[in-house]
């Protein structure tokens, strides 16, 4: 292959990409070599970390499940229906993505100090509770799930649903019998993305649910708690465990064929 | 019988259908021709109830259905891309409408098998849409529409994806289907030969208006 101008351009772009990936490889490599697998295992088997891991898995799954339940109808509405003010609503749905995480936590904390919030807390207590962890994860994860579901429905033709309407379906039946089965890969992707986002959530959880050991401590909270007492080895072990979980989720999303 | 009574459809300031008035008698095979983007598909969607006209009325067998939902009109619709349901097997595609209407399983099976035999797709009943050729998909889409036992069938360029050899076969099939099921058919096409072979009534859309040829 001769190195003409076009090839040189591709080579330069390839080098930029490789450089970026290499930078990440160095970051993760340096973290991974900070301590030994034996010490990782020791840290991960400690009762506090096992509890935080279990809590993370449960709360992330609940938050992702709730996010998906919200994302399917909202995503369907945004992809299939034209209405006045749609672009404003579209922008509003992205607010949790651009808000600083600590602000999300602060908003939750203040909301549950209002009269409506206190009434809700009489039924289900959220502030500094485990349910607060799930809520803090849900409010941000839902925005990502909605984006994914909206994209999924936009890529699916509305024609089969139109035909289903002529064959006797109501709009809800067309969604249930035709659109949802066609969107199942997108639903898996939306769940995985919401789950991964929940796993990394820290700011809102810290502000709204606190960082109480064996109560509201999830994996990102563990990293922060261990760092704050100078236990870098434990923080590294938990971080690497979270990286492994994130990679697993990425593989799962790619397997669905959807793009993140 | 299909009656369109002064149907107008506008998008913004653009008039797509301008005061369209036409009557298509029962058991007639009508073909509708016209240039691309002249409003043929819009007209079919208004007939189906998928789109509301800006003004005017749609009457089926002298009943005003303008405000009825698509499911209440008794119309079979085969769009240009056939729109088979992804992830459903041919058997489920054909049985979709009868199952929705609560037809007992035994009768549903009989209806599916009868239509599959009639359309020559019995060996394909357990296949997914991705595993069908263009001609097979077209037959499945027709069988699915007819399983709902409509009185009226709307076809939007149903043969456009077929090659020349399959098109002649499909024309024969459509003629047979129309006469066996005593259907009123409105068939949109760009092909003059297709229109000549099938049409009892020839319609043309021109500048948003409908003309009988």
Quick: pLDDT tens for B16-34. 999 999 999 999 999 999 9
pLDDT of residue B127: 96
Quick: pLDDT tens for B72-111. 999 999 999 999 999 899 999 999 999 999 999 999 999 9
CB B168 within 8 A of CB B6: no
Tally of structural domains, chain B = 1
What is the complex's ipTM, to 2 decimals? 0.92
If you measure CA to CA, which chain A residue comes closest to B70?
A166
Looking at the complex, report in whole angstroms how far the Cα of residue A95 sits from the nearest Cα belonging to chain B.
Answer: 31
* Mean pLDDT across B197-206: 92
Contacts (Cβ under 8 Å, ≥6 apart) of B159:
B138, B167, B170, B171, B189, B191, B194
pLDDT band at A260 (very low <50, low <70, confident <90, very high): low
Looking at the complex, report in whole angstroms how far the Cα of residue A71 sits from the nearest Cα belonging to chain B.
Answer: 21
Quick: pLDDT tens for B96-105. 999 999 999 9
A28 with A100, same domain: the answer is no
Pick from B50, B84, B85: CB nearest A165: B50
Say whether pLDDT at A37 is over 90: no
pLDDT of residue B24: 94
pLDDT of residue B48: 94
- Top pLDDT among A22 and B161 is at A22
CATH number (domain holding residue B12): 3.40.50.300
A7 with A81, same domain: the answer is no
Looking at the complex, report in whole angstroms how far the Cα of residue A132 sits from the nearest Cα belonging to chain B.
Answer: 39
The percent of residues in chain B predicted with pLDDT above 90, rounded, is: 74
In a mutagenesis test of the B interface, which of A164, A168, A173 is the best target, namely the one with the most B β-carbons within 10 Å? A168
Question: Cα A37 vs. chain centroid, distance in angstroms?
Answer: 28
pLDDT band at B36 (very low <50, low <70, confident <90, very high): confident
Check B71 against A182: CB less than 8 A apart: no
Residue B49 phi, psi (nearest 5): 95, 10
Residue in the structure block whose two tokens are 């810290």? A206
Taking the Cβ of residue B71 and every Cβ of chain A, the question of whether any pair is shorter than 8 Å is answered with: yes
Number of neighbours of residue A105 by Cβ within 10 angstroms: 24
DSSP chain B: -EEEEEEEEEETTEEEEEEEEEEE-TT-EEEEE--TTSSHHHHHHHHHTSS--SEEEEEETTEE-TTS-GGGS-EEEE-TT--PPTT--HHHHHTHHHHHTT--HHHHHHHHHHHHHHTT-GGGTT--GGGS-HHHHHHHHHHHHHHT--SEEEEESTTTTS-HHHHHHHHHHHHHHHHHTT-EEEEE-S-HHHHHHH-SEEEEEETTEEEE-
Check A166 against B71: CB less than 8 A apart: yes
Taking the Cβ of residue B47 and every Cβ of chain A, the question of whether any pair is shorter than 8 Å is answered with: no
CA–CA separation, A128 vs A121, rounded Å?
11
pLDDT of residue A254: 84
Say whether pLDDT at A3 is over 80: no
Say whether pLDDT at A133 is over 60: yes
Q: Give the structural domain span for A8.
A: 1-33
In a mutagenesis test of the A interface, which of B47, B50, B102 is the best target, namely the one with the most A β-carbons within 10 Å? B50
pLDDT band at B159 (very low <50, low <70, confident <90, very high): confident
Q: Average pLDDT over chain A, rounded to whole? A: 93
* Mean pLDDT across B160-175: 83
Residue in the structure block whose two tokens are 């939306």? A190
User: By C-alpha distance, which of B108, B107, B74 is closest to B94?
Assistant: B108
The percent of residues in chain A predicted with pLDDT above 90, rounded, is: 84
Q: How many CB pairs under 8 A join A and B?
A: 72
Taking CB atoms and an 8 Å cutoff, what residues of chain A touch B115? none
pLDDT band at A259 (very low <50, low <70, confident <90, very high): low
Check A166 against B75: CB less than 8 A apart: yes
A21 with A68, same domain: the answer is no
Q: Which of residues 100 through 139 in chain A touch B, CB cutoff 8 A?
A: none
CA B139, B175, B106, B94 torsion-angle sign: positive
Q: Return the DSSP state at A85.
A: T
Taking the Cβ of residue A184 and every Cβ of chain B, the question of whether any pair is shorter than 8 Å is answered with: yes
- Side-chain-side CA neighbours of B91 within 13 Å: the count stands at 11
If you measure CA to CA, which chain B residue comes closest to A167?
B97
* Mean pLDDT across A70-98: 95
Taking the Cβ of residue B68 and every Cβ of chain A, the question of whether any pair is shorter than 8 Å is answered with: no
A85 with A29, same domain: the answer is no
Tokens read off for A211: 């960082």
Taking the Cβ of residue B86 and every Cβ of chain A, the question of whether any pair is shorter than 8 Å is answered with: yes
Check A177 against B96: CB less than 8 A apart: yes
Quick: pLDDT tens for A165-213. 999 999 999 999 999 999 999 999 999 999 999 999 999 999 999 998 8
- Side-chain-side CA neighbours of A87 within 13 Å: the count stands at 0
CB A160 within 8 A of CB A142: no
* Mean pLDDT across B115-128: 93
Phi-psi region of A163 (alpha: psi -120 to 50; beta: other; left: phi over 0): alpha
Tally of structural domains, chain A = 2
Taking CB atoms and an 8 Å cutoff, what residues of chain A touch B155? none
A22 with A91, same domain: the answer is no
pLDDT of residue A49: 92
Pick from B86, B100, B145: CB nearest A169: B100
User: By C-alpha distance, which of A1, A154, A142 is closest to A69?
Assistant: A142
User: By C-alpha distance, which of B139, B132, B137 is closest to B174?
Assistant: B139
CATH number (domain holding residue A153): 1.10.3720.10
Residue in the structure block whose two tokens are 């016209």? B34
3-state secondary structure labels for all residues of A74-131: HHHHHHHCCCCCHHHHHHHHCHHHHCCHHHHHHHHHHHCCCHHHHHHHHHCCCCCCHH
The percent of residues in chain A predicted with pLDDT above 70, rounded, is: 98
A27 with A114, same domain: the answer is no
pLDDT band at A1 (very low <50, low <70, confident <90, very high): low
A148 with A129, same domain: the answer is yes
* Mean pLDDT across B136-164: 90
pLDDT of residue B4: 94
CA–CA separation, B69 vs A258, rounded Å?
34
* Mean pLDDT across A109-128: 95
Q: Give the structural domain span for B193.
A: 2-212
Check B87 against A177: CB less than 8 A apart: no
CB B194 within 8 A of CB B26: no
- Top pLDDT among B165 and A52 is at A52
A120 with A173, same domain: the answer is yes
pLDDT of residue A187: 95
pLDDT of residue A154: 96
pLDDT of residue A255: 83
The percent of residues in chain B predicted with pLDDT above 70, rounded, is: 100
* Mean pLDDT across A136-163: 96
pLDDT of residue B161: 73
């Amino acid at each position: 292959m001769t190195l003409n101008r076009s090839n040189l351009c591709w080579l330069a772009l390839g080098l930029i990409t490789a450089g970026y990936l290499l930078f990440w490889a160095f970051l993760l490599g340096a973290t991974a070599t900070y301590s030994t697998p034996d010490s990782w295992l020791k840290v991960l088997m400690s009762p506090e970390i096992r509890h935080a891991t279990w809590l993370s898995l449960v709360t992330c799954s609940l938050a992702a499940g709730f996010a998906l339940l919200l994302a399917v109808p909202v995503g369907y509405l945004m992809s299939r229906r034209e209405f006045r003010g749609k672009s404003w609503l579209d922008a509003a749905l992205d607010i949790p993505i651009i808000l600083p995480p600590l602000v999300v936590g602060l908003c939750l904390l203040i909301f549950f100090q209002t009269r409506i919030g206190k009434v809700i807390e009489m039924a289900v207590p959220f502030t500094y509770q485990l349910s607060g962890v799930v809520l803090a994860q849900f409010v941000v994860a839902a925005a990502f799930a909605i984006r994914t579901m909206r994209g999924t429905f936009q890529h699916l033709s509305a024609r089969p649903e139109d035909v289903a309407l002529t064959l006797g379906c109501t709009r809800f039946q067309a969604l249930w019998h035709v659109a949802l089965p066609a969107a199942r890969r997108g639903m898996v992707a939306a769940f995985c993305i919401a789950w991964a986002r929940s796993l990394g959530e820290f700011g809102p959880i810290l502000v709204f649910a606190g960082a109480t050991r064996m109560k509201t401590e999830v994996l990102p909270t563990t990293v922060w708690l261990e760092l704050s007492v100078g236990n870098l080895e434990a923080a590294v072990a938990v971080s690497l465990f979270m990286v492994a979980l994130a990679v697993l989720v990425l593989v799962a999303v790619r397997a669905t064929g959807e793009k993140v | 019988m299909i009656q369109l009574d002064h149907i107008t459809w506008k998008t913004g300031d653009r008039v797509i259908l301008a005061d369209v008035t036409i009557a298509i008698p029962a058991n007639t095979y009508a073909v509708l021709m016209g240039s691309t983007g002249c409003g043929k598909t819009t007209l079919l969607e208004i007939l189906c109830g998928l789109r509301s006209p800006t003004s005017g009325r749609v009457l089926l067998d002298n009943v005003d259905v303008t405000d009825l939902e698509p499911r209440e009109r008794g119309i079979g619709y085969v769009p240009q891309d056939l729109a088979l349901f992804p992830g459903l097997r041919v058997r489920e595609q054909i049985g979709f409408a009868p199952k929705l209407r609560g037809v007992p399983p035994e009768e549903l099976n009989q209806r599916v098998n009868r239509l599959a035999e009639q359309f020559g797709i019995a060996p394909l009943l357990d296949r997914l849409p991705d595993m069908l050729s263009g001609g097979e998909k077209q037959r499945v889409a027709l069988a699915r529409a007819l399983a709902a036992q409509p009185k009226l069938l709307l076809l939007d360029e149903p043969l456009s994806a077929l090659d020349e050899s399959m098109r002649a076969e499909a024309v024969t099939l459509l003629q047979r289907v129309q006469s066996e099921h005593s259907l009123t058919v409105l068939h949109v096409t760009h092909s003059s030969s297709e229109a000549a072979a099938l049409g009892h009534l020839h319609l043309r859309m021109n500048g948003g208006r409908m003309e009988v040829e």
